[in-house]
Amino acid sequence: MNKPLDGRLQTAEHILARILENRIPDAETGISKFKEDEGLLEISTTENLREFDREKIQNAVNKIVESEIPVNKYVKNRKDAQKEVDLKKVPSDVQKIRIVNIEGFDKRPCRDPHVDNTKEIGKFEILKIKRVGRDRYRITFTVN
């Protein structure tokens, strides 16, 4: 069983979010939450995610995981960070921004723990895709 907030789920969520954002033109990721052995990502889109090929998305995430990509974490002041990442979800009073960079694949602000290399994540699996609003979906996932 995973330890809570051990970084594997959080890093897998970044990979899943980037893949969905790249594949779906109007995709906008929302909240993410983590329990002991599950992650949850909400995404807004006009696409019907329940019709998406779950296995194809899982395979895409696992391909990145297996690529053994370094994951760098560093802190910048807000002015410098906004040159690198989108800060619209970061409260304006936060001046020190922690950036998580999955080298050459994804870079975004995040305060959660993350692994040092994607190979530490393990096998990614989507457990459920649920519609939770007109254009909003909740994806529940795990790593083993």
Q: Quote the Cα angle for 29-30-34, to 5°.
A: 110
The one-letter amino acid code at 9 reads L
Q: In this model, does residue 142 exceed pLDDT 90?
A: yes
Beta bridge partners of 136: 44, 133
Q: What is the DSSP letter of 76?
A: E
Is the model's pLDDT at 76 over the cut of 50?
Answer: yes
pLDDT given at position 36: 87
- Tokens standing for residue 7: 């970084």
Find the mean pLDDT for residues 90-101: 97
Side-chain half-sphere of 60: how many Cα atoms within 13 Å?
Answer: 19
Q: How does the average pLDDT of the chain come out, rounded? A: 95
The encoded tokens of residue 108 equal 């975004």
Q: Are 128 and 109 in contact (CB under 8 A)?
A: no
Read off the pLDDT of residues 27-52 as tens digits, 9 standing for 90 and up: 999 999 999 899 999 999 999 999 99
Contacts of 3 (CB under 8 A, 6+ apart): 36
Helix (DSSP H) and strand (DSSP E) numbers for the chain: 3, 7
Domain regions of the chain by residue span: 8-143
pLDDT given at position 93: 97
Q: Is the pLDDT of residue 4 over 90?
A: no
> Residue 124 pLDDT > 70, yes or no?
yes
CA-based end-to-end distance of the chain = 8
Domain 8-143 is classified in which CATH homologous superfamily? Threonyl-trna Synthetase; Chain A, domain 2 (3.30.980.10)
Q: What is the pLDDT of residue 6?
A: 80
Q: With both helix axes pointing from N to C terminus, report the angle between 8-23 and 54-66 in degrees, rounded to the nearest 10.
A: 120
